Amino acid sequence: MDSEQGRSGDCPFSQLRADIPLASQYIYLNSCTFGPVLRSVQRSMADALRVENEEIIAIRGKEAGERFYERAEKARQSAAELLGVAAADVAWVYNTTTATRLAIMSVDWQAGDKLAVTDVEHLSTHRAARGLAQGRGVEVTVIPTAEPHEGTYRGPGYFLNRLDKMLTPAHRLLVISHVSNIDGRRLPVVEATRLARSRGVKTLVDGAQSVGMFGVDAKEIGAEFFSGSVHKWLMGPPGIGFLVVSDEGKRDYNPFQLPLPTGAGGRPDGSQMAAGALSELGTQNYALRIGAGACVETAQGIGLEKIEEQCRSLTERLRAGLHCVPGIRVASPELWEHSSSVTTVQLQDGTPGRCLELVGRLLAEYQIVVKYRPEICGVRIGVAAFNTAEEVEQLLSALGHLAPQV
């Protein structure tokens, strides 16, 4: 990408930036936690809530709102197209954590069963694993993704080798992040899923940090389960996420113990049911679904290839500059193919207190928003498509000034 691209006057990212109120007040580099909800998405949800409550439910009843509920269902189709799957495979849930838990708890765990997770999974996944070990007697296998003495992820070779040695037919499920929330490393989910399937092990891919940053084809990945949400890189509302359940995954997926059709051998089989029918119970928040559809359609309108190109260009600019800042070490993988627009840096002889001071001073003195990552005692920077080259330079300048001081 031309170095001039990504500036606030360029389209389509200038239009995207204009749709973000806080972009005029802060240098917001924390989309890996919460992406700023687009103003247009906020309007779509407000209008949906008004229509649902003032024109449908309160006056004419739910049955009269056919067009409204078709609009809500269209959001599911948009999400399915974004993920390369059928709408029947997409279930709406609260967030990635809920989606992940539904998939994990769909397994009929018995004492002595094994669960495999990588060492860079989200804290909520590790908590679920510990809960299974405590409550069900499940044995948890943690697969390392990088050599311990190196620390930095240098590609899929070491991880796939360890996965090959450590994953056995006794494992019931493998949980693997597409992109790690800790340092942005991109894991080889296609190869991992294929290896797991060869041993009769199901796979759950956590897509929280990949969806919306670059194109994701959940069908090509081939996992039985793929979880994610819209409140990060898609800049949608919090409180709504998704779980993609493949036909194979649906065979035993029944987290709410619903009656299922009878399959081969008289065994209950949910493979012919929609993921939503198996996962969505009771009254739903349709305004959130419509908001999710709106942010997905915005990303599709720009194009995921363009979004990835923008994120990559800004990230490479950032990392090149970080190598010139004394006292700063880039902990994220260098190559884009092994990485993402999540960059975590560490301070020389850094402590949690120093990292937190740096995060606080960046906000107080420069209006720059980043986040502390306790797992590796680092500061995480998330460069999104609406950010600019000027903002990257301002961050580098601020770090050059503050890093020697904290």
Query: Does pTM surpass 0.85?
Result: yes
Residue position matching structure tokens 């260098």: 334
The residues spanned by each domain of the chain are 13-30+303-402, 52-299
Length of the chain as a residue count: 406
CATH number of the domain located at residue range(s) 52-299 in this protein:
3.40.640.10
- Which has the higher per-residue pLDDT, 125 or 153? 125
CA–CA separation, 94 vs 72, rounded Å? Answer: 16
- The per-residue pLDDT for 131 is 96
**Which of 45-68 are b and which e, b meaning 16 or more Cβ less than 10 Å from the residue's Cβ?**
beebbebbeeebeeeeeeeebeeb
* Predicted confidence (pLDDT) at residue 150 exceeds the cutoff of 80: no
Tell me the CATH architecture of domain 13-30+303-402. Answer: Alpha-Beta Complex (3.90)
- Evaluated on CA atoms 17, 236, 67, 43, the torsion sign reads negative
CA–CA separation, 288 vs 46, rounded Å? Answer: 10
- Evaluated on CA atoms 44, 45, 46, 50, the torsion sign reads positive
pLDDT in tens, 83-114: 999 999 999 999 999 999 999 999 999 999 99
